[in-house]
């Protein structure tokens, strides 16, 4: 259960290359409803061993939306898109978003078009019912040169155009390096926000990942109001061993760590433009993953979801 998120994403990239909505109205009259769900990476080992049984368990807890972290050979956790959609529907679950890495192998600079692998990714996401196709990683080779990096942000925008044809939106999910690495004196996160079209590329703000590099969610949200349609709701605690992403911290049950999670959520509701709040926990201390996400759900309900 100690496989790192980073290694998991790298492995997933290589492999790819080779219903009741739980929501509450926003305070503003006429505002769109919020969506609360769980990133299935939170229970990755359980999903690996028994995806159907684990999804049943989540549904019984009260979750109504999930976000995948496993799309390999055009299948979600071993299920074809239409099959997985039915599995979710039968359990009263929906999957508005999912994580699939957009990498170098998915864009052909010679033809200036996406490869079939990425076109299939978008097609299958639409089939399963997603509203967002979220890429949660930027390969190191793409962040070494300022001009190349900016050019790849145009690929992000083009992916947004491709997703829009299927009624979806492309998105990006941050880790920590976006807040510690700079090109030409600009942090990568600023370059991403400045060079992607908000109408085409949604931002999924992981409020825990950034903490490992000194990023402060409240500050970022105030700097870019309205830019974060999705949020990974996460808390962090001092690690007793080796923390996540090489830092001294690891994720924990919501409300038990150092991040002012409710304050961040409230700001997202008020001025961040956030509608999709996705719980994610990657480390568990003395609890099992299912016990952890059950407590996370209790915290979210306490905060009005």
Written as tens digits, the pLDDT of the chain (305 aa) is 445 555 556 555 554 444 333 334 334 434 568 999 999 999 999 999 999 999 999 999 999 999 999 999 999 999 999 999 999 999 999 999 999 999 999 999 999 999 999 999 999 999 999 999 999 999 999 999 999 999 999 999 999 999 999 999 999 999 999 999 999 999 999 999 999 999 999 999 999 999 999 999 999 999 999 999 999 999 999 998 888 988 999 999 999 999 999 999 999 999 879 999 999 999 999 999 999 999 999 999 999 99
Q: How far apart are CA 244 and CA 55, in angstroms?
A: 26
Percentages helix, strand, coil for the chain, rounded to the nearest 5?
Answer: 45, 20, 35
CB 131 within 8 A of CB 97: yes
Tokens describing residue 88 = 């979710």
> Which pLDDT value is given to residue 271?
84
> What three-state secondary structure class fits 239?
coil
Tokens describing residue 94 = 């929906």
Q: How far apart are CA 198 and CA 211, in angstroms?
A: 24
CB 155 within 8 A of CB 102: yes
Q: How far apart are CA 157 and CA 224, in angstroms?
A: 18
Q: How far apart are CA 129 and CA 208, in angstroms?
A: 27
> Which pLDDT value is given to residue 7?
59
Could you tell me which of 115, 133, 113 has the C-alpha nearest to residue 71?
Answer: 133
Q: How far apart are CA 249 and CA 64, in angstroms?
A: 29
> Domains along the chain?
35-303 (3.20.20.150)
Residues for the chain: how many in total?
305
> What three-state secondary structure class fits 71?
strand
CB 295 within 8 A of CB 261: no
Q: How far apart are CA 72 and CA 305, in angstroms?
A: 32
């Amino acid at each position: 259960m100690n496989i790192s998120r980073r290694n998991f994403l790298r492995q997933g990239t290589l492999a790819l290359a080779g219903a009741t909505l739980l929501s509450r109205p926003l305070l503003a009259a006429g505002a769109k409803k919020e969506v609360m769900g769980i990133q299935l990476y939170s229970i990755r080992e359980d999903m690996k061993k028994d995806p159907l049984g684990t999804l049943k368990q989540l549904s019984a807890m009260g979750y109504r939306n999930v976000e995948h972290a496993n799309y390999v050979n055009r299948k979600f956790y071993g299920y074809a898109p239409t099959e997985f959609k039915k599995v979710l529907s039968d359990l009263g679950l929906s999957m508005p978003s999912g994580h699939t890495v957009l990498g170098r192998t998915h864009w052909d600079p010679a033809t200036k078009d996406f490869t079939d692998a990425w076109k299939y990714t978008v097609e299958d996401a639409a089939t399963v019912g997603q509203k967002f196709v979220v890429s949660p990683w930027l390969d190191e080779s793409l962040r070494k040169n300022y001009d190349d990096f900016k050019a790849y942000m145009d690929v992000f925008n083009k992916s947004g155009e491709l997703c829009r044809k299927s009624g979806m939106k492309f998105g990006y999910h941050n880790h920590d390096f976006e807040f510690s690495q700079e090109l030409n004196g600009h942090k990568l996160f600023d370059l991403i926000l400045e060079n992607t079209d908000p109408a085409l590329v949604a931002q999924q703000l992981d409020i825990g990942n950034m903490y490992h590099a000194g990023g402060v969610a409240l500050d970022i949200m105030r700097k870019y109001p309205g830019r974060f349609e999705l949020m990974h709701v996460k808390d962090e605690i001092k690690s007793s061993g080796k923390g996540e992403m090489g830092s001294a911290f690891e994720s924990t049950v919501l409300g038990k760590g150092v991040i002012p999670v409710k304050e961040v959520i409230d700001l997202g509701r008020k001025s961040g433009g956030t509608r999709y709040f996705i719980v994610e926990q990657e480390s568990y201390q003395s609890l099992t993953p299912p016990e952890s996400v059950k407590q996370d759900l209790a915290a979210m309900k306490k905060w009005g979801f």
